Amino acid sequence: MSAAMGIDKPVRGLRELLAGLADAPDMPVSGLALSSRNVAPGFAFLAVKGTRMHGLAYASEAVARGASVIVFEAWRQLGYRGALDLAGKE
């Protein structure tokens, strides 16, 4: 399986993709990436725990490459999983 999945047109909204996992905003995404190196404009970056580092360490790189949202698992003590909408950033 590839680290990035490109989609020609936004087929699904983020809310639908994360149904049952997180209360996400209903925004279109043009692809998914597990590596910040594979992010393209409009992608959702899935920041998860890796073998050496957490994907959140690469969130700023993903945003610089055009990620419209960073999806991450929150620390257990917070008691939730989250989706952070960066589309409105200025």
- Tell me the pLDDT tens digit for each residue of 41-61: 999 999 888 888 888 899 999
Instruction: Count Cβ neighbours within 10 Å for each residue of 54-84 and write b for 16 or more, e otherwise.
Output: ebbebbeebbebebbbbbbbeeeeeeeeebe
Instruction: Provide the whole-model pTM.
Output: 0.70
Q: What is the pLDDT of residues 59-68, one digit of tens each?
A: 999 999 999 9
9-13, 21-25, 44-48, 68-72: least confidently modelled range: 9-13
Q: Does residue 38 have a pLDDT over 60? A: yes
Structure tokens at 48: 């998860």
Average pLDDT over the chain, rounded to whole? 76
Residue 11 has pLDDT above 70, yes or no: no
